[in-house]
Amino acid sequence: MLKVSGLNVSYGDVQVLFDVSLEIRVGEFISIVGANAAGKSTLLRAISGLLKKTSGSIEFQGKQLVGRPPYAVVEAGIVHIPEGRHVFPLLSVRENLEVGAYTRRKSRKDLRRSLEELYGLFPQLYHHRDQLAGSLSGGEQQMLAIARGLMSRPTLLTVDEPSLGLAPMLVEKTFQILEHINKENVTVLLSEQNVFNALSMSDRAYVIENGRIVLTGAGKELLTDEHLKKAYLGM
């Protein structure tokens, strides 16, 4: 489904990703784990077309995405839930969701159906539908960011650090939601510092260090890897 090969990314003169390659198959739940500043977010942002200085290849369902603008990436079916949620604070919850359906805006009926489905999945968003998104709690904003992303019915959802700044109970809930979405045939690419949780959920995972992929394998296998245990799990 998604094939990244030989990806290099720089911010100005500073190279952040080096020769990164990975492959995701339809329906998989893939994690990218690593320390802060390892390059996880950069990788997701490069896939989304947000970064200019990108070379290599990002192929999605046979289409080359490098050099394509972000809207073309969304139109192809990849939606990125950014780190820090980035809901539109002065739009209501409902308006946020409507904006999320931008690529499908032509069909009113479609939009209403998506809204109903997502309100079913996130009842608290329905409850707060007329409230300004900026007035929601952090956990609710994270739910809104995910729901907003799903409004365009992506085939691949990339999620950047959804657990950041959330209480443990909400982290748990966020991961449950992502697992649920994955079971509904949305492929998920998750970037997380919360290594234990991410690996236990994932079909496969990639470990990224200083902008390079250093380790890859099935999620549960990686949990027993000696290097990983020492570096990220404190064992």
Partner 1 sequence: MDPTLFTQLLISGILLGGIYALASIGLTLIFGVMKIVNFAHGEFFMVAMYLTYWVVHYFHIDPYLATLILVPVVFLIGIVTYYLFIRPTLSSSVLAQIFITVGLSTIIQNVVLLFWSADFRSISLGYATDSLVLGPFPALHIEEAMVSPARLIAFGLAILLSLAFYLFLKLSYTGKIIRATSQDRSAALLMGINTDRIYRLTFAIGIVLVGLAGGLVLPVYSVHPFVGFDFVLIMFVVVVLGGMGSVVGAMVSGLIIGVVEVFSSYWIGQENKQVIYFLVFIAILVVRPSGLFGLKEEEELEHIETID
For residue 69, state whether it binds partner 1 (rule: CB under 8 A).
yes
Among 6, 67, 89, 168, binds partner 1 (CB under 8 A): 89
Backbone phi and psi for residue 164, each to the nearest 5 degrees, phi listed first:
-60, 125
Nearer Cβ to partner 1 (128/148) = 148
**Is the distance from CB of 78 to CB of 158 less than 8 angstroms?**
yes
- Residue 64 sits at φ, ψ, to 5 deg, of -80, 125
Helix (H, G, I), strand (E, B) or coil at 157: strand
Kindly indicate which of the ranges 20-28, 65-73, 117-125, 164-172 contains the residues binding partner 1, using the contact rule CB under 8 A.
Answer: 65-73
Non-local (6+) Cβ contacts of 49 within 8 A are 65, 68, 69, 70, 72, 73
Which position among 102, 167, 176, 221 is part of the footprint of partner 1 (CB under 8 A)?
102
Q: Choose the stretch contacting partner 1; rule: CB under 8 A; options: 59-67, 83-91, 121-129, 164-172.
A: 83-91
Query: Which of 67, 123, 134, 138 is close enough to bind partner 1 by CB under 8 A?
Result: 134
Q: Does 48 bind partner 1 (CB under 8 A)?
A: yes
74 binds partner 1 (CB under 8 A): yes
Closest distance to partner 1 from the beta carbon of 39 (Å): 6
Q: Is 140 in the site for partner 1 (CB under 8 A)?
A: no
Query: Which residue type occupies 50?
Result: L
Which neighbouring-strand residues pair with 80? 158
In whole angstroms, the minimum distance from the beta carbon of 160 to partner 1 comes to 9
| Residue 178 to residue 189: CA distance in whole angstroms | 10
Q: Which residues contact 218 (CB under 8 A, 6 or more apart)?
A: 203, 204, 205
Instruction: Compute the distance between CA of residue 81 and CA of residue 44 in angstroms, rounded to an integer.
Output: 9
**Least distance (Å) between residue 202 CB and partner 1:** 20
The residues in 8-37 that bind partner 1, with binding defined as CB under 8 A, are: 11, 14, 16, 37
Is residue 53 involved in binding partner 1 (CB under 8 A)?
no
